[in-house]
Amino acid sequence: MALLEVRDLSVEIATSRGTGFAVRGLNFALERGQTLGIVGESGCGKSMTALALMRLVPENARIGGAILFDGEDLAQADEARLCQIRGNRIAMIFQEPMTSLNPVHTIGRQIAEPLMMHRGLDAASARAEAIRLLDRVGIPEARRRVDSWPHQLSGGQRQRAMIAMALSCGPDILLADEPTTALDVTIQRQILTLIGDLVRDSGMSLILISHDLGVIAETVDSTVVMYGGMAVESGPTARVFAGLAHPYTQGLFAARPQLGQGAGKRLATIAGVVPDLVDLPAGCAFAGRCRLAVQACRVAPPAPQDLGLGHSAACLRLDAAREPAA
Amino acid sequence: MTAVVDIQGAVKHYRLPRESLFHPAPSVHAVNGVSFAIARGRSLGVVGESGCGKSTLARLVMALEPPTAGTVKVLGHDLNALAADKLRELRRHFQMVFQDPYGSLDPRHTVGRIVGEPLDGLETRLARDERRARIVAVLESVGLRAADADKYPHEFSGGQRQRIAIARALITRPALIVADEPVSALDVSVQAQVLNLMRDLRDRYGVTYLLISHDLGVVDYVCDDVAVMYLGRIVEQAPAKTLFADPRHPYTKALLDAVPRPDPTNRRQGTVLKGTVSVETVTGRGCPFADRCPRVEQRCRDAAPALRTIAPDHLAACHFAEGP
């Protein structure tokens, strides 16, 4: 049985303009020790998916479907049970390390808190453990830095402190929502290398959310490409990146300015903008921007088509998409 | 022909709050002696990580800050020697596009008013219909419609707002547009639209860009030349093609190596650059990159390497730039 199995997950948000469908009919499974990436542009539902897994969605949001974690449905669990799981068995790191650390507590205290809560350590041993964790995530002079305040650390070090906090209880799943987006490329490289090492050493599973195809390609075993709240393509990372079956995935790739390509080729753009989640089209969410869309695309959302070896894409025109663009 | 921009030995220090009664206030050395010239039609990209001084450089070129030392010339005029009214007249020739398309447009003004404002401030008064015609023409040149002039910024998406910001910069028909991270707040698919627009405008109107970005791919796509900055200095400068094919400075190499590539079959095992960029408050005597450099030697700590020509059009500031 998979460690985490998400079945037909939906997140509906009540807004003043009507119901927004942030996530629709999402399915994926994550084995122990496996890494999964979710990639997409802003508004595609990737962050809402992460929040739904932790049941941390905003109050006006409703979760549907099943989130089976070790056989237990988190979508039905009560708040007390969720408190035992959050930060303990599923831990999360966020994009902005400055706003997700509490500015009025030292980082040592923030790392010690889950240790005392979930593992019942006393203050002294929690502090010793916090120092060990800070050292493990590569913060120099951990013994001294444990008493630092968040504002005394650089962006990269804050993200390391966040990772130390997430790791403190030895979680089964680490959820990382754009963990390196606010960081410079050389620091991004350090943090991704650190996350990769930690996942390998501790055997935990990783869900990495990013808008950057490069980050996804270098870090995870399998990939889900999201658009308009749905998975449009998913499968083993190598297969997805070699296949690029869905027109949206192809478009994302072609729109990326690549180093060394220089002034030569013109960037292919995807016309139009991401659809409004309150006013989604009846058919495929991408149909309005797709160069291959036909009438059938606008009728109902396409079901995922199996492409073999775990690779699938939700598109009616996969054959046409396979031919090179005119 | 005079260069569009000519900067010689620009230095910018920012004062920090005093820490002690008995010592002078420390200062941040944001730009530490930068010199370059941009010829008309040869767009320059400046890349570097946060804190390297690239945005300060943009502010110096826009005459939004006076340099602590050095000169900044635009179209042959020393910006800091000009009288205020002359500088104002000159401003129509160099305009700026900012990073945040949400914060840089006044939400209470219509798009027509936002885009037309440089005309009122910087040019002689135009007749009403002539002014309107200019606004419509510039909106159409960035891919918006005439009807958009009466809408407000909140009615537009991020990519469209950045088009409005570009239209505002373009309306006085400037020779130079300074763009500070113009696409970093946009999604990939929208970013491509704006980058293509910037290239079209360059080809159509002969605009020269000074493009500030942390994204090497973006700079490579729009610019002819690239300068890499580290701690307030240019460490390498060359035509884009040369720089990305044959980087000579270890920092440029590390920066290129750190860019994630969407190719899962070929995951890199390269060296990870240690440490982080520190804010410099005292200029040391060695190479500023020495602490993080993979091939540092004693002489790097003793003497800072000068930025020098190592091949035609290729400048680098490293003791080992000529070697393998």
pLDDT 10s digits, B1-37: 678 999 999 999 988 888 888 888 888 888 989 999 9
User: Which residues of chain B neighbour A184 with C-beta distances below 8 Å?
Assistant: 49-50, 214, 277
Residues of B with CB below 8 A from A41's CB? Answer: 187-189
pLDDT for the residue numbered B281:
59
Helix residue ranges, H only, chain B: 54-61, 84-90, 111-122, 128-141, 158-170, 188-205, 216-222, 240-245, 250-258, 298-302
C-alpha distance from A28 to closest chain B C-alpha (Å)? 20
Distance, in Å, from the CA atom of B299 to the CA atom of B11, rounded to the nearest integer, reads 25
Residue of A nearest to B50 (CA): A184
What pLDDT was estimated at residue A262? 63
CB contact (8 A) between residue B196 and residue A266: yes
Give which of B47, B97, B100, B53 is closest to B254, Cα–Cα.
B47
With H, G, I as helix, E, B as strand and everything else as coil, classify residue B206.
Answer: coil
What pLDDT band is residue B108 in, cutting at 50, 70 and 90? very high
The model's pLDDT over A104-163, given as tens digits with 9 standing for 90+, comes to: 999 999 999 999 988 899 999 999 999 999 988 888 888 999 999 998 888 888 888 999
Helix (H) or strand (E) holding A226: strand A222-227
Residue in A closest to B267 by C-alpha: A218
Domain limits, chain A: 4-89+171-258+267-321
**Identity at A211, one-letter amino acid code:** H
* Predicted local distance difference test score (pLDDT) of residue B43: 94
Tell me how far apart the alpha carbons of residues B32 and B234 are, in angstroms, rounded to a whole number. 9
> Among B218, B263, B277, whose Cβ lies nearest the Cβ of A217?
B263
Nearest C-alpha in B relative to A221: B264
Which range, A97-101, A163-167, B98-102, has the best average confidence (pLDDT)?
Answer: A163-167
Mean pLDDT of A211-239: 92
Residue of chain A whose Cα is closest to the Cα of B48: A184
In this predicted structure, what is the pLDDT of residue B58?
92
Q: For domain A4-89+171-258+267-321, say whether CATH 3.20.80.10 is its number.
A: no
**Averaged pLDDT for residues A61-83:** 92
Chain B residues with CB inside 8 Å of A216's CB?
Answer: 262
CA distances, B42 to each of B16, B37, B292 (Å): 36, 10, 32
**Token digits of residue A245:** 């079956």
- From the list A185, A237, A273, which residue is nearest B259 (CB)? A185
Residues of B in contact with A253 (CB under 8 A): 262
Candidates A41, A259, A267; nearest CB to B259: A259
B73-79, Cβ contacts within 8 angstroms, sequence gap of 24 or more:
B73/B3, B73/B5, B73/B6, B73/B7, B73/B8, B74/B4, B74/B5, B74/B6, B74/B176, B75/B2, B75/B4, B75/B175, B75/B176, B76/B2, B76/B3, B76/B6
Q: Place B70 in a pLDDT band, splitting at 50, 70 and 90.
A: very high
B68 pLDDT more than 50: yes
What is the rounded distance in angstroms from the CA atom of residue A281 to the CA atom of residue A39? 21
Report which of residues B95 and B184 the model is more confident about. Answer: B95
What is the overall mean pLDDT for chain B?
88
